[in-house]
Amino acid sequence: MQDRSYWSRLANDRVTRRRVLRTAGLGGVGLTAAALIGCGSDDETPSDSPAGTSVTAGGTAATGTAATAAPASMLSDATLTSAIGSDIGSGDPQSLGGTGGGNWPNTSTHFGGAGLLAVDQDTREMIPNLAESVEESPDHLAFTYKLRPNLKFQNGDPLMAEDVKFSMDRGALGQAEYNPDYEGGHASQFAASVERAEVIDDLTVKFILKKPDIVFKRRSLFLVPKAHIESVGDVEFAANPVGAGYFRQVSRVPDSEIVSERFDEYPGTPDSPMPDGGHLPYIKRLVQKVIPDSQARLAALQAGEVDLVHNVSSDVARQLESDGDVQVMYLPGDQPMHIHINTAMETDPDTGIPNPWRDVRVRRAANLALDLDGIIEGILTGRERPSYGSSSTGVGFPADIEAKRYGYDPAEAKKLLDAAGFTDGFDAKMYGPIGRWPNTRPVMEVAAQNLTDVGIKTSIQELQYQEVTTRIKDDSLGPLVFFGMSGGDDPGLNFRYGYHSTGNYNMSPPAAEVDALIEQSESEFDPEARAEILSQVITRFYEDAHWIFLYEPVTVVVLNKKWLWTPHARTLSNPEYWNIQPVEA
């Protein structure tokens, strides 16, 4: 076993394990403008919180004087300044560069809360949001959406059925007439099942499917304005996005900051929120400053330059828990973190040797080499759950998969490498995005050392998040990439992105029968039968070690106590800017 003194040194500032409380919140969103990617546990905020505390997401009470909330109907002129770790890839949420969870500073801000449907927090079923109603045909091949009247985009254009059809045509089906060459980022989600969209009248649109798709209503569709995009073009739209969400973008300096203002014609208000709970932001102005270094983000908070810091390292968070001026908030996530393994490449891009990762014994050896428990306890918050590639709270999660977990067994890893013909090991490069996920660099360092210890001599290279996602999509990065996939109530979305051989984020094509099982699951409407199929997919993907499986993360957010945020979402990993308000003077 590895010498535990390393973990002891890392954990020497660890405080006593904090009491875990329960949280409330929102899961994924379907046919929506944005998803708050993460996970949750129970459904309600406890009523027995100790006096003088405010309950934070992730179930940790932030000590100090409790903040006093402004009245629910009060909209302020306040400006909230947030420090984020990475910039977006593109302001166009339908483009390849603009899709992916790392684009949340754009998608959850300018397009968030503007989905046709939303998740009911009690039943976890899809309910109308911007749509007033939705009708599904008995054969599951047609979905008719009736929009709420008087909806608007942030440039004043009315949001009509024609815009919904255009959003599907452009973002998913490759049928944008104004630009047939436009490559939408959601093709892998919709193109396999959707045949076309039809406008019935100004407020009614119908989607015609090629085959039944049980997760169709959960698939993300960002609504964009047809006339505006056709007028200004794709490049201008990406620079100055126009959505129908909580905030409208005012300006953006790439790799520096994004400035947004409240969209005053958003339909939900604090006193009368939308079905998904969203409403007009309490704040008037939002400034998101891009500061890749975690310590620099914290220094900006301590200097009063920012009010909120997203994605703080766990060791710093522990030290801040006793600081009476800030709230340390733990946002638990079910987003499966892992190290992508590129088996699409025939040869290693650096060494030129035949790709060793195509051998399942090598992939299993890499999983056995990883001291995951040590990483969780020594580097992370200790709250993280081991990942098996799909959300542990989702439909069809196998009850017996924990018994199949890859343990920390370097000796067995070396035996597998020897059996695969790599007695002397081989070299590998691991890539990771800067500033996207908490503790990326230290986790990569320990993982690289673990792999090196068994003979897979691993070096690290960090890239901007946008470059990582772009190169994953064209299979040009690897052989190893630190990454995360969407969680949520239903793994079908993740399957299409990360498991299916046509997925944008799949660099390790599974066996053909896994593709077939995924497709079968999309057409199975019996809950028990579908759960069994999903379980088979998760188990097969895990046993074949298509990834090096890590954990379901916890994101740390630190907020100045001049602000109040009681998270609405049960599952999230990003700040709900619309739900943060200044404390009464």
Residue 447, in any domain of the structure: yes
pLDDT of residue 160: 98
Closest CA to 31 of 155, 128, 149: 128
DSSP assignment of 545-557, as one string? Answer: T-EEE-EE-EEEE
Q: What are phi and psi of 182, to 5 degrees?
A: -65, 130
Distance CA 573, CA 575 (A): 7
Mean local confidence (pLDDT), 365-369: 98
CA 381 from chain center: how many Å? 19
8 A C-beta contact, residue 111 and residue 221: no
Q: What is the mean pLDDT of the chain?
A: 84
Greatest mean pLDDT range, 27-36, 217-226, 243-252: 243-252
CATH number of domain containing 309: 3.40.190.10
Q: What is the pLDDT of residues 98-130, one digit of tens each?
A: 987 789 999 999 999 999 998 876 777 889 999
Looking at the structure of the chain, the number of domains it has is 3
At 422, list the tokens. Answer: 């790599």
Q: Which residues pair with 390 in a beta bridge?
A: none
Query: What are the DSSP E strand ranges found in 148-269?
Result: 194-201, 204-209, 247-253, 257-262
Note the pLDDT of residue 253.
97
**Quick check: 267 and 149 in contact, CB under 8 A?**
no
- Per-residue pLDDT for 64 more than 70? no
| pLDDT tens per residue across span 457-470 | 999 999 988 788 88
Residues 394 and 470 in one domain: yes
The pLDDT score that the predictor gives to residue 44 is: 28
Residue 471's pLDDT is what? 87
- 502 and 396 in a common domain: yes
How far are the Cα atoms of 91, 127, 204, 264, 306 from residue 154, in angstroms, in the given order? 14, 24, 21, 9, 26
CA dihedral (118, 120, 124, 130) in degrees, to 10, reads -20
pLDDT of 293: 86
Q: Is residue 2's pLDDT more than 60? A: no
Question: Based on the domain organization, do 280 and 347 belong to the same domain?
Answer: no
What's 153's domain CATH number?
3.90.76.10
Residue 220 has pLDDT above 80, yes or no: yes
Tell me if 4 is assigned to some domain.
no
The whole-number average pLDDT for the span 358-385 is 95
Residue 198 tokens, joined: 């039809």
Token output for 342 = 């590129």
Let me know if residue 516 belongs to a domain: yes
Q: pLDDT value at position 332?
A: 78
* Residue 406 belongs to domain with CATH number: 3.10.105.10
d(CA 59, CA 338) in angstroms, rounded, equals 24
- Residue at which a domain ends, from 169, 191, 226: 226
Statement to judge: residues 523 and 559 lie in one domain: no
| Residue 319 and residue 345 in one domain | no
pLDDT number for residue 70: 44
DSSP per-residue codes, 15-33: PSPPPP---------SS-S
Do 416 and 463 fall within a single domain?
A: yes
Decide if 413 is inside a domain: yes
pLDDT in tens, 514-559: 899 999 998 899 999 999 999 999 999 999 999 999 999 888 899 9
Nearest to 170 by CA among 98, 109, 114: 98
For residue 376, give the DSSP letter: H
From residue 359, alpha-carbon distances to 355, 363, 449 in Å are 8, 7, 21
Banded pLDDT at 31 (limits 50, 70, 90): low
CB 456 within 8 A of CB 426: yes
Q: Which of 226, 249, 281 is the last residue of a domain?
A: 226
* Alpha carbon distance 423, 416 (integer Å): 9
Buried residues in 237-247 as b, exposed as e (16+ CB within 10 A): bbebbbbbbbb
265 with 305, same domain: the answer is yes
Q: What is the pLDDT of residue 352?
A: 83
Do 574 and 104 meet the contact criterion of CB atoms below 8 Å apart?
yes
Domain that holds residue 502: 337-551
12 part of a folded domain: no
pLDDT score, position 407: 94
Give the model confidence (pLDDT) of 550-569 as tens digits: 999 888 899 999 999 998 87
Is residue 96 pLDDT above 80, yes or no?
yes
Q: How confident is the model at residue 82 (pLDDT cuts 50, 70, 90)?
A: very high
Both tokens assigned to 415: 């035996």
pLDDT in tens, 288-315: 999 988 889 999 999 999 999 998 888 8
Between β-strands 204-209 and 247-253, what pairing exists: parallel, antiparallel or unpaired? unpaired
Burial of 439 (0-12, 13-18, 19+ CB in 10 A): buried
The pLDDT value given to residue 68 = 44
Amino acid at 435: G
Q: Is residue 17 part of a domain?
A: no
Do the Cβ atoms of 352 and 94 come closer than 8 Å? no
Tokens of 573: 């990993």
Give pLDDT tens digits for 467-505: 888 888 888 888 999 998 877 788 887 888 788 888 878
- Indicate if 380 and 438 belong to the same structural domain: yes
Judge if 429 and 473 occupy the same domain: yes
Q: Are 569 and 36 in contact (CB under 8 A)?
A: yes
Residue 527: inside a domain: yes
- Helix or strand holding residue 187 (H, E): helix 187-190
Q: How many CA atoms does the CB half-sphere of 508 hold within 13 Å?
A: 26
Provide DSSP, 386-410: EP-SS-TTSTT--TTGGGG-----H
Is the model's pLDDT at 65 over the cut of 60? no
| pLDDT at site 14 | 29
Q: What share of the chain in percent tops pLDDT 90? A: 59
448 and 357 co-located in one domain: yes
Strands 385-386 and 551-552, by their bridges, are antiparallel
Q: Which regions of 109-187 does DSSP assign to beta strands (E)?
A: 117-119, 126-128, 131-136, 142-147
Distance of CA 541 to the CA centre of its chain: 20
Give the helix/strand (H/E) hosting 319.
helix 314-320
The answer on 372 and 493 residing in a single domain is yes
In a domain, 518, yes or no: yes
Whole-angstrom Cα distance, residue 382 to residue 14? 10
Q: Say yes or no: 540 and 477 in one domain.
A: yes
The total of other beta-carbon atoms located within 10 Å of residue 392's CB is 17
Are 413 and 423 in contact, with CB atoms under 8 Å apart? no
For residue 153 the two structure tokens come to 């985009």
- The confidence score (pLDDT) of residue 123 equals 75
CB atoms within 10 A of CB 372: 23
